[in-house]
């Protein structure tokens, strides 16, 4: 029988972590944050770390670029909230739905297909270089466990961009990763994997670009649904690609962990499907975290794989969702 909203709320408020499936399989369940206060707050709850720190959100109204020192202070607060755990800082995702005043973004006909995310390099490479300097400095201030902070770039589309970003991170002792939100990365994931240490799937943008449906459009909400089987198939492809690369490497020395940090991970049933597809970490808004944690505690990895197979076998998102909910609660 489907659990009532009341039961879900009770289960969520009783759940204290750490996140694991019913068979004991650990889950990396992390928080999405946008500033130091959010990070400190998340540290008081059951989050296992931070899977997405949206740095641009702290600077949206700034008319001028924050100095390296200002940035380092902010980043150190966020890294310091989880001194012993994973914290993934995303470099500025300027443009489109998050215009940054100081970045000098051009006026564009199609900003979602324009200069955004890592493409800010096309205007001025200095902005990213200074941000990476600030993150490295923040890591040094926070200490040993954060001495090689995880940093990821948004809107990566080509291998050359991934390689260049990773080089600039490694020169500073940072651990480089990329977001998978442009379909080109998912399609050719085997070509990207050798260059980075982790990947994080941004389902908000990946869905928008796979379905060619503006994420801001309410008219297109049905298309813009991460339950769309085409989106799930791409996520599966990324996870399978990483697993294949790991098994080809000598004694599993190159395992690139694959996470999801888009809103999709905050839907408890979709979270089960994502784990079943082979994703190893989920990063969600702190308010959603106990709901996801409590739901995952009730299913095994085998069950998640079964649910993922059911979803992949559908043609419509609504059909996939109903099939999964029914089988999960059975
Ligand atoms: C995403 O695209 O899924 C994502 C996590 O990034 P943002 O929502 O900040 O674009
Ligand atoms: Mg995005």
In tens digits, the chain (330 residues) has pLDDT values of 456 788 889 999 999 989 999 999 999 999 999 999 999 999 999 999 999 999 999 998 899 999 999 999 999 999 999 999 999 999 999 888 787 889 888 889 999 999 999 999 999 999 999 999 999 999 999 986 667 999 999 999 999 999 999 999 999 999 999 999 999 999 999 999 999 999 999 999 999 999 999 999 999 999 999 999 999 999 999 999 999 999 998 776 689 999 999 999 999 999 999 999 999 999 999 999 999 999 999 999 999 999 999 999 999 999 999 999 999 988
Q: What is d(CA 178, CA 197) in angstroms, rounded to the nearest whole number?
A: 9
117 lines ligand 1 (CB under 6 A): no
Q: Which of 30, 38, 54 to mutate to test the pocket of ligand 1 (most atoms within 8 A of CB)?
A: 54
Atom of ligand 1 nearest to the CA of 204: 3
The H or E element containing residue 307 is helix 301-312
261 ligand 1 Cβ < 6 A: yes
Mutate to test the pocket of ligand 1, among 88, 155, 202, 215 (most ligand atoms within 8 A of CB): 202
Counting atoms of ligand 1 from 1, which one is nearest the CA of 154? 6
What's CA 203's distance to the chain center, in Å? 8
Q: How far is the CA of 1 from the centre of ligand 1 (A)?
A: 33
What three-state secondary structure class fits 171?
coil
Q: Are 114 and 96 in contact (CB under 8 A)?
A: yes
Q: Phi, psi (5° rounding) for residue 176?
A: -85, 140
Asked whether the beta carbons of 50 and 283 are under 8 A apart, the reply is: yes
Q: Which atom of ligand 1 is nearest to the CA of 261?
A: 5
Q: Which ligand is nearest to the CA of 32?
A: 1
For residues 175 and 150, the answer to whether their CB atoms sit within 8 Å is yes
3-26: string of b/e by CB count within 10 Å (b at 16+)?
Answer: beeeebeebbeebebebebeeebe
Please answer whether residues 239 and 249 qualify as being in contact, where contact means their C-beta atoms are separated by less than 8 angstroms: no
Q: What ipTM was assigned to the predicted interfaces of this complex?
A: 0.99
- The CA distance from 64 to 296, in Å, is 44
């Amino acid at each position: 029988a489907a659990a009532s909203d009341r039961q879900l709320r009770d289960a969520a408020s009783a759940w204290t972590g750490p996140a694991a499936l019913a068979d004991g399989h650990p889950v990396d369940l992390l928080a999405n944050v946008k500033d130091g206060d959010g990070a400190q707050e998340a540290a008081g709850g059951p989050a296992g770390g931070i899977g997405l720190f949206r740095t641009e959100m702290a600077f949206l109204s700034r008319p001028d670029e924050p100095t390296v020192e200002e940035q380092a202070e902010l980043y150190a607060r966020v890294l310091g909230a989880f001194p012993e755990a994973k914290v993934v800082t995303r470099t500025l995702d300027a443009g489109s739905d998050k215009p940054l005043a100081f970045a000098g973004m051009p006026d564009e006909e199609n900003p979602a297909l324009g200069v955004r995310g890592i493409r800010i390099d096309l205007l001025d490479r200095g902005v990213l270089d200074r941000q990476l300097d600030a993150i490295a400095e923040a890591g040094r201030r926070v200490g040993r466990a954060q001495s090689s902070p995880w940093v990821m770039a948004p809107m990566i589309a080509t291998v050359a961009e991934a390689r260049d970003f990773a080089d600039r991170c490694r020169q500073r002792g940072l651990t480089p990763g990329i977001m998978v939100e442009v379909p080109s990365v998912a399609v050719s994931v085997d070509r990207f994997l050798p260059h980075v240490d982790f990947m994080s799937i941004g389902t908000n943008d990946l869905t928008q670009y796979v379905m060619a449906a503006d994420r801001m459009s309410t008219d297109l909400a049905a298309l813009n649904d991460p339950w769309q089987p085409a989106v799930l198939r791409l996520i599966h492809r990324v996870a399978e690609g990483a697993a294949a690369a790991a098994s080809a490497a000598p004694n599993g020395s190159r395992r690139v962990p694959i996470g999801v940090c888009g809103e999709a991970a905050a839907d408890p049933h979709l979270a089960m499907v994502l784990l079943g597809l082979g994703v190893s970490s989920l990063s969600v808004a702190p308010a959603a975290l106990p709901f996801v944690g409590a739901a995952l505690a009730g299913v095994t990895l085998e069950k998640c794989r079964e649910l993922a197979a059911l979803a992949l076998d559908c043609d419509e998102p609504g059909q996939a969702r109903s099939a999964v909910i029914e089988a999960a609660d059975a």
